[in-house]
Amino acid sequence: MEKEAYFYDGKPMIIRKNISLKPFNTFGLDYKAATLICTTTERDAKQLFRSEAGLNQPLLILGGGSNILFTEDFRGTILSPCFLNIRVDKLEKEHVIVSAGAGVEWDSFVEWCVAMGFSGIENLSGIPGSVGAVPVQNIGAYGVEAKETIVKVRCISIPEGRVKLFSNKECGFGYRTSIFKTTLKGQYIITRVYFRLGLKFIPRLGYGSLKQEAEGSGKPTLKRVRNAVLKIRNSKLPDPEVTGNAGSFFKNPVVSGSFADILKKDYPGLPLYEDTSGGIKVAAGWLIEQCGWKGKRIGDAGVHSHQALVLVNHGRASGMEIYKLSEKIRESVKKKFGINLEREVEVTGII
Ligand code: EPU
């Protein structure tokens, strides 16, 4: 393997050529990237954009690789932001502003906040990926979304290398989306995310069995809620260290109230939730299960046996096999329910 390391600012910027992506995607797919660059300081990233240092196109910014499906070798440059520190920026009366570098592992950050007694993101425990990916996806779980605590997002523009701060409003957050995934896709690299967290703990236990689980061993504390979330996740979702996956492969579709009424009449068991957009959110996992896909596999590409919304790599599946399975699932759901499933996972190489 060809290796290069450049040193700017006294800190290493690591450049690897023709490198395996296996450790860089949670599906565990063994494709290669022509170039992978890891920058440890904002200054390096700026210099990189301004220089000719091997930035061959296309350019892909990769967080923890927990929401991506590669279907072929990546012929361009993958940039992995390794900005790693966590700090307390400001103390307010009942809140604290805490920020983390984009390369910090999200769950280590949540663990640290829980240990410090800072509340607001404990329901988002156990989600794989890095802090930089959190605003892109507006990650959510157990009744909480990241947008509720994100105050601002610090970015560098590509290719000018200018710093820009996006306020919460400017991020255009929606269900598993933001401006970084839509209109500004590929135009900024996120370097730091700022959160406003509570110094007083108000548990958010409205989702499914969370209340029961968190109260099982006494009065819910931050730590108990985190442990309860981790326990529920472990019972439903596969550990990417053991079985390759990228969490929910599809979004829960949002339909109109009138269409939801028709669906409910035909399928009384269908779980439906009010969506903030005014529409009705349909449980995609239920739709996929009803189409008979839960636990099924085609070769090594499969549907998780405890949560049909999650596609898994049982070992040697290719990205294309997982993609083809996902398309078959979409076709069945469309045929049976008349609903188009939208992917949550980003697929590279097919379109
Ligand atoms: N369901 C089924 N069969 C299945 C899966 C789900 O019938 O195979 C039913 C469940 O019984 C429940 C409903 O569907 O009534 C919702 O299921 P669940 O609570 O597991 O949540 P989800 O809507 O399938 C979403 C997120 C998850 C997040 C959970 C918990 C999306 C796309 N997914 O899943 O996020 O962990 O809620 O809050 O919104 C992720 O984004 O990668 C992810 C894992």
User: In the beta sheet, which residues pair with residue 141?
Assistant: 144
- Predicted confidence band of residue 2 (pLDDT cuts 50, 70, 90): very low
Scanning the chain, the segments in alpha helix (DSSP H) are 42-50, 106-116, 133-137, 210-215, 222-236, 257-266, 284-290, 319-337
Atom 15 of ligand 1, nearest CA residue = 271
> What's 147's DSSP letter?
G
213 in active site = no
Catalytic residue (choose from 42, 145, 321, 344): 344
pTM of the model: 0.93
Phi, psi of 39 (to 5 degrees): -105, 140
Give the model's pLDDT for residue 1.
37
CA of 252 to the centre of ligand 1 (A): 8
176 in active site = yes
Give the model's pLDDT for residue 264.
95
Write out the two tokens for 168: 């919460």
Write out the two tokens for 85: 């520190």
- Predicted confidence band of residue 60 (pLDDT cuts 50, 70, 90): very high
pLDDT of residue 9 exceeding 60: no
Give the model's pLDDT for residue 15.
85
Atom 32 of ligand 1, nearest CA residue = 251
In the chain the domains, ranked by start, together with CATH numbers, are 2-81 (3.30.43.10), 86-234 (3.30.465.10), 238-348 (3.90.78.10)
pLDDT tens per residue, range 225-239: 999 999 999 999 999
Using an 8 Å Cβ cutoff, are 170 and 179 in contact?
A: yes
